[in-house]
Every structure is written in C-alpha cells, then in structure tokens.
Amino acid sequence: MTGKRRYEAVVIGSSAGGLNALKTLFMGLDSGFRLPLIIVQHISPDSDNYLIHILNDLRKLRVKEADEKEIPMPGVAYIAPPNYHLLVEPDHSFTLTVDERVNYARPSIDVLFETAAEAYRHKLVGIILTGANSDGSKGLKRIKELGGLVIVQDPDTAEVDSMPRAAILATAVDHLLPLDEIATLLNKLEDEKK
C-alpha cells in the first residue's frame, strides 16, 4: 500500500432534475470527503449559479464556481460557470471556453468528461445523473475507455431518464445505482487506497 488514493477526481453531469439529484448526492457524502468533485449542471446562460449557494448550505464540501487555470483541490466541489465549457488540462488545471455549444449545451458534460478522462485516465470517476438529453454519454464512454470508473443513476430513480438511458447504451457501466446509493459508493471509493 502506498497510501495514495486510487482515484483523484470525480466528474458529475446532470441536467433536468439535477438540483434535487445533486442535493441528495451531497447529503449522502461523509463529512471530510476529500475527492474533488467537478460538476456540469445544465443551467440557463444568464443564471446566477444559485446551485453553488444551495449546495454550500448543505455544509458537506466547499462549493465554488470553477475558475480559469485553477487546479482542483481535495474536499472542494467545482461547478461549471453558466455559458462556459469547463475543460480539464493535462496538468489538471481548468480552462473555460465559449466555444460552440455541444449537444445544445454550454457547459457541455461531454466536453468536461472527455478532457478529464484524458487528464486523469484510470484515476477518474465519472457519474451521469438525471437529464433530458444524451449529453455525457460520449464522455462517459471515453472515461471507461481510458480505465476510469463509470457510474450511472438508475433511470427508474431519475427525475428525467433520458441521460442515464443514453449513457447505458453508450458504454459498459460499472455501477448502475439508485440515486441514494451513489454517495455511499463514493464514500467507499474515497477510502480505497492503491
């Protein structure tokens, strides 16, 4: 045992119904959960990113908007800013772009997942939650291809099941779980050492 964590980051994608899903997920995390969470929630381009305030009020992790060139830190959750794609560079720092929409969305889950997969490879956990389109399915497939762990919310527990169903069709899923069991798995993964 080296004492190093097996995983170094968790990326999460959600769309319609995502606020409630993320609240449930956060409430299930252990206090002291250390893996950085990097989140794309489809939101209106002119949103004030209210999600940050709501999730911060749960007092599980520090929640903030991702900043350009920032490197994810343990115990912090990062939310993609409204109307910006959030990318992860090879050195794990963030880049924000206003490139064209992907899957009709900016921020796009696929953009985050695909770049994070390249940066973290087998040390990445990817999670698809509730949503009304197929964004994230290509990115989740890429995470799996590069050795990461992929988790999908059971469509039967999703407020809107299109995104989880698209993800299941796109790749072999490691864990298909009801929403309230995803945090339990993350807590176990966070404790795993190499």
Count CB-CB contacts under 10 A for residue 1: 5
Helix then strand then coil, in percent of the chain rounded to 5, is: 35, 25, 45
Listed residue (35, 29, 37, 38) closest to 8, CA to CA: 35
Measured CA to CA in angstroms, residue 4 lies from 21, 52, 191 at distances of 29, 29, 10
Residue 79: its H or E element: strand 76-79
Q: From the candidates 14, 42, 85, 162, which is the catalytic residue?
A: 42
Listed residue (111, 99, 36) closest to 70, CA to CA: 36
* Residue 135 annotated as catalytic: yes
Q: From the candidates 135, 137, 161, 162, which is the catalytic residue?
A: 135
Q: From the candidates 15, 134, 137, 162, which is the catalytic residue?
A: 15
Positions annotated as catalytic residues are: 15, 42, 135
